[in-house]
Amino acid sequence: MSLPSSAKAITFILTRDRPKSIAFYRDVLGFRLVREDIFAAVFDLNGTMLRISTVETHQPGPSTVLGWDVPDIAEAARALKDKGVEFNIYEGFGQDELGIWTSPASDARVAWLKDPDGNVLSLTQFQD
């Protein structure tokens, strides 16, 4: 049996400090907080549900856990920088002054950032 065609993806992020995460995802990234209960803070990521759960011992991994396809990555990066977001710079990637990397294998442009718990997030613009 397969999942029904009506099944929608849900994504999960772990945090050590839920109030700080709520402020980041709501006030910095601009997503709507749908509800909060003892298990999670739930956001609407433009049609995809994000559940942020508290795990006091959470240690973030080094890889991207969540990302967004944006129409203009430079504009999105500048807007987030204006809100105090710092983009990750990776040695040898040749990122521009905003922290945007252009893939040599495609026309994708990517910038990485971290949430308050160090979870790696990304912005991607796919060129037409």
**Does the residue 93 lie in any domain?**
yes
Pick the closest to residue 115 from 28, 10, 31, 56 (CA basis): 28
Strand extents, DSSP E, 16-108: 32-36, 41-44, 49-54, 64-69, 101-102
* Domain-located, residue 39: yes
Residue 121, H or E segment: strand 120-125
For all residues of the chain together, what is the average pLDDT?
96
* Residue-level pLDDT at 106: 86
- Let me know if residue 5 belongs to a domain: no
Cα(73)–Cα(63) distance, integer angstroms: 20
Q: Is residue 46 part of a domain?
A: yes
Give the model confidence (pLDDT) of 18-76 as tens digits: 999 999 999 999 999 999 999 999 999 999 999 999 999 999 999 999 999 999 999 99
Percent of the chain residues past pLDDT 70, beyond the cut: 99
Q: For residue 108, is pLDDT > 80?
A: yes
Q: Answer yes or no: is 1 within a domain.
A: no
Closest CA to 68 of 39, 30, 106, 102: 30
- Is pLDDT above 90 for 127? no
What domain count does the chain have? 1
Among candidates 100, 105, 103, which has minimal Cα distance to 88?
Answer: 100
Report the distance separating Cα 57 and Cα 59, nearest Å: 6
Residue 121's domain comprises 10-125
Across 69-90, average pLDDT: 97
Q: In this predicted structure, what is the pLDDT of residue 107?
A: 87
**Residue 4 placed within a domain:** no
CATH number of 18's domain: 3.10.180.10
At residue 128, the pLDDT reads 63
Residue 99: inside a domain: yes
